[in-house]
């Protein structure tokens, strides 16, 4: 297998980056029989907070880069590029701790990494071959996050709203949105997802064809 093409998909929480990454991975395999694509979520790389009492775990700013294990993510991306499998940690968002389970991810022709703070780390930015940014209006992102956190992560509406005001918005403005200007591909909320996927696949296919012989 040729070295993996590493593609980052970034955007605010609730912007639709996970959906876009999954759609691109699916269509990559459909359009190229025998080719493989995998999606890694930066959400799996949050630091374990089990050393803290539960009340203190909830006070950690999970929208700040310090909450994520970027070093582990970087080592996994290097391993996948070199053709090696990695074990992605499981994370329980209701208890803010790693579960101890590891999901085996095998190398693939295309590796898509999605996360809200992905572009905030210089080491990860440099490792990526292509960077996609998903713009989405603040009210839409906040509503989606509210629904997700209350239905999937056991949070109350009051706690989610408090977190949105105290952490999500200021961290987004400081660590997420500024990177849109430097991304290779920017898509907007409301863009037709099929058209966006097709355009992105064309870009990645061309880049993979051009870069594969040159990458070590």
Residue 100 phi/psi, 5-degree rounding, is 95, -15
pLDDT at 158: 85
pTM of the predicted structure, to 2 decimals? 0.89
Return d(Cα 47, Cα 43) in angstroms, integer: 10
Residue with tokens 């990559």: 28
Residue-level pLDDT at 71: 98
Averaged pLDDT, groups of 10, the chain, 216 residues long: 87 91 96 91 97 93 96 97 96 94 96 97 97 93 82 80 83 95 95 95 90 55
Domains of the chain: 5-204 (3.40.50.300)
What pLDDT score was predicted for residue 145?
79
Strand bridging mode 185-188 / 130-135: parallel
pLDDT at 56: 95
């Amino acid at each position: 297998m040729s070295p993996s093409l590493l593609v980052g998909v970034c955007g605010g929480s609730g912007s639709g980056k996970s959906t876009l990454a999954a759609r691109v991975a699916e269509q990559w395999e459909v359009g190229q029989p025998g080719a493989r694509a995998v999606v890694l979520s930066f959400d799996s790389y949050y630091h374990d907070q089990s050393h803290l009492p539960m009340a203190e775990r909830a006070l950690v700013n999970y929208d700040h880069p310090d909450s994520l294990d970027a070093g582990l993510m970087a080592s996994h991306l290097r391993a996948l590029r070199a053709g090696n499998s990695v074990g992605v940690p499981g994370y329980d968002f209701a208890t803010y701790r790693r579960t101890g389970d590891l999901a085996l991810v095998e190398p693939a022709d295309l590796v898509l990494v999605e996360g809200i703070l992905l572009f905030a780390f210089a080491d990860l930015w440099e490792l990526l071959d292509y960077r996609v940014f998903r713009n989405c209006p603040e009210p839409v992102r906040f509503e989606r996050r509210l629904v997700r956190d209350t239905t999937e992560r056991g949070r109350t509406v009051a706690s989610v709203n408090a977190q949105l005001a105290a952490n999500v918005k200021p961290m987004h403005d400081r660590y997420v949105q500024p990177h849109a200007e430097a991304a290779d591909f920017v898509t907007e909320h409301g863009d037709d997802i099929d058209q966006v996927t097709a355009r992105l696949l064309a870009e990645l296919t061309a880049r993979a064809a051009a870069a594969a012989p040159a990458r070590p």
